[in-house]
């Protein structure tokens, strides 16, 4: 019988930080899993190397469900982003191994292709409307068929989610989180924002017409009532979705938003368990599940989550910014291709530096992503190159109200 012989946590920082779990079997088969938790990376690395790796040695790598339950129930302390990112990494690595042993891409083990490719959306943004329109044009030139649009707000400085430099031809990226000892502090004013966003959508629809699928991320910054106001004011622009319109720890609050607007809603990138979605799904309070394979317990947990969502006609819109490593992104793509209730996949391209460490086989053509047909997840990790990029502390920004400096959601 094959057994897990070694497991190692690899931390690298090719442009931004990534935590990867590498699992090796006694037959010499290797699997990779993504355990990156932006801004808190070393907590997961330590959880894995100190508390999970010793439990994996000697286990049957094919027992994916049993290993998932062993790590989830066995820990006694359930859920939470650190625990669930660690379990996710083990889960992905075991699916990668199973695929390699079977000689099949993971999507074949999940039921095979349900579509020829996964519709992707990119991040278009600009400090003002003209630079946003340039960014949208660049995305369309790159083949994107759907875009998320974010802009600066008059009277406010830099806002998370909006690129600062967008020189012609330069790769657009507002990530990574700032590499500094302390988080950057940004200023926020909800009223200015609520006035500005409909103007942005009006200008973009005017320029690009009614067909282009448009998305927008409110980054948890609104109260339920403000979220309802925004949703209503955007209805005439026919959004693909409005994301994280309010914080959702209190799932009941979404009833208010839902009853007041028909704009489609997407929530869940910070969630890590099906229980975070229970009310949102069973009461059909959202349209899209935004969870990441990396943060919500891996392929095993996400497949169950999406089967639950399917009962309520809710679709996927998996989180895919550049702080999900190429391994996590590949895992999402295998699910995207296989599940019936796929909606859209976020796709922010990784930098050339990142891709020099992670060699991917997924493709992006005519706006559609495909995980490729290599056995397993289809990603290789170049350890030599990875070792050249040591971990560098990096934080996501903190949001404060412009008026009086009160810490605010973002
Ligand atoms: C964003 C992310 O992709 C998104 O929708 O909300 O950029 C998110 O802020 C980061 O992943 C945080 O690590
Ligand atoms: Mg988001």
Taking the chain (410 residues) in runs of 10, the rounded mean pLDDT of each run is: 96 96 98 97 98 98 98 97 98 99 98 98 95 96 97 89 60 58 90 98 98 98 97 98 95 97 98 98 98 98 98 98 97 98 97 96 98 98 98 91 94
> Measuring CA to CA, which residue among 19, 85, 2 is closest to residue 271?
85
Cα 124 from Cα 348, distance rounded (Å): 10
Centre of ligand 2 from the C-alpha of residue 374, in Å = 30
pLDDT at 164: 65
Q: Report the atom number in ligand 1 closest to the C-alpha of 324.
A: 11
Q: Mind listing the domains of the chain with CATH numbers?
A: 4-105 (3.30.390.10), 109-374 (3.20.20.120)
In the block, residue with structure tokens 């820990």: 75
> Which of 162, 184, 323 has the most ligand 1 atoms within 8 A of CB, as the residue to mutate?
323
Ligand nearest to the CA of 148: 1
268 lines ligand 1 (CB under 6 A): no
Which atom of ligand 1 is closest in space to residue 148's alpha carbon?
A: 5
Task: Looking at the CA of residue 174, tell me the nearest atom of ligand 1.
Answer: 7
Tokens of 360: 């991917």
Give the phi and the psi of residue 272 in degrees, each rounded to 5. Answer: -130, 5
Residue 153's pLDDT is 95
The residues carrying an active-site annotation are: 160, 219
The closest ligand to the CA of 163 turns out to be 1
Cβ(91) to ligand 1 under 6 A? no
Q: Whose CA is nearest to atom 7 of ligand 1?
A: 321
Q: Residue 133: what pLDDT?
A: 97
Report pLDDT for 63: 98
Q: Is the CB of 276 under 6 A from ligand 1?
A: no
96 Cβ below 6 A of ligand 1: no
**Closest atom of ligand 1 relative to the 243 alpha carbon:** 5
Kindly compute the dihedral angle of the four CA atoms of residues 147, 152, 154, 155, in this order, to the nearest 10 degrees. 160
How far is the C-alpha of 81 from the C-alpha of 77, rounded, in Å? 12
pLDDT at 406: 97
User: Could you give the CA distance from residue 254 to residue 287 in angstroms, rounded to a whole number?
Assistant: 12
Q: Quick one: which of 139, 112, 117 has its CA closest to 369?
A: 117
pTM: 0.96
Environment of ion ligand 2 (residues, CB < 5 A): 217, 269
Please give the number of the atom of ligand 1 that sits closest to the Cα of 123: 3
Is residue 25 a contact partner of residue 4, using CB atoms and an 8 Å limit? Answer: yes
Closest residue by Cα to atom 6, ligand 1, is 219
Q: Does 323 contact ligand 1 (Cβ within 6 A)? A: yes
Question: What confidence score (pLDDT) does residue 181 get?
Answer: 78
Rg (CA), the chain: 21
Instruction: Check if 346 has its Cβ closer than 6 Å to any atom of ligand 1.
Output: yes
Q: Tell the residue nearest (CA) to atom 3 of ligand 1.
A: 321
Ligand 1 pocket, residue 269 CB under 6 Å: yes
Find out whether the beta carbon of 322 lies less than 6 Å from any atom of ligand 1: no
pLDDT score of 248: 87
Q: Is the peptide bond before 278 cis (omega within 30 degrees of 0)?
A: no
Q: How far apart are CA 385 and CA 24, in angstroms?
A: 20
Res 169: pLDDT: 46
Centroid of ligand 2 to alpha carbon of 178 (angstroms)? 17
Smallest CA-to-CA distance from 110 within 269, 298, 267 is with 298
pLDDT at 160: 83
């Amino acid at each position: 019988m094959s057994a897990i012989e070694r497991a190692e946590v690899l931390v690298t920082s090719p442009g931004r930080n990534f935590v990867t779990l590498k699992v090796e079997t006694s037959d010499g088969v290797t699997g990779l899993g993504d355990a990156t938790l932006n801004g808190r990376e070393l907590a997961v690395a330590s959880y894995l190397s100190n508390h999970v790796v010793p439990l994996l040695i000697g286990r049957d790598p094919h027992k994916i469900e049993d290993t998932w339950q062993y790590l989830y129930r066995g820990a006694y302390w359930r859920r939470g982003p650190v625990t669930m990112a660690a379990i996710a990494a083990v889960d992905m690595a075991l699916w990668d191994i199973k695929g390699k042993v079977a000689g099949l891409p993971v999507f074949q083990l999940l039921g095979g292709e349900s579509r020829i490719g996964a519709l992707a959306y990119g991040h278009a943004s600009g400090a003002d409307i003209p630079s946003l329109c340039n960014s949208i044009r660049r995305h369309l030139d790159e083949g994107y068929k759907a875009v998320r649009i974010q802009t600066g707000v008059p009277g406010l400085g830099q806002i998370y989610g909006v690129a600062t430099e967008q020189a012609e031809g330069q790769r657009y990226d507002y990530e990574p989180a700032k590499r500094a000892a302390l988080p950057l502090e940004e200023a926020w004013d909800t009223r200015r924002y609520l006035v500005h966003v409909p103007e942005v959508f009006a200008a973009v629809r005017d320029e690009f017409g009614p067909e282009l699928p448009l998305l927008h991320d409110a980054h948890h910054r609104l109260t339920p009532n403000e979220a309802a106001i925004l949703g209503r004011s955007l209805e005439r622009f026919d959004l693909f979705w409005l994301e994280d319109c309010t914080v959702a720890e209190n799932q009941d609050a979404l009833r208010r938003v839902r009853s007041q607007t028909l704009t489609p809603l997407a929530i869940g990138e910070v969630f890590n368990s099906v229980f975070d979605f229970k009310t949102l799904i069973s009461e059909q309070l959202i349209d899209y599940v935004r969870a990441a394979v990396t943060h919500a317990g891996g392929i095993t947990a996400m497949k169950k989550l999406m089967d639950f969502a399917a009962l309520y006609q809710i679709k996927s819109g998996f989180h895919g910014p550049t702080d999900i490593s190429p391994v996590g992104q590949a895992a999402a793509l295998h699910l995207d291709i296989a599940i019936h209730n796929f909606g859209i996949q976020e796709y922010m391209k990784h930098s050339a530096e990142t891709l020099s460490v992670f060699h991917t086989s997924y493709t992006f053509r005519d706006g559609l992503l495909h995980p490729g047909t290599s056995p397993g997840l289809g990603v290789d990790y170049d350890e030599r190159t990875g070792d050249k990029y040591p971990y560098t502390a990096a934080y996501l920004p903190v949001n404060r109200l412009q008026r009086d400096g009160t810490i605010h959601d973002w």
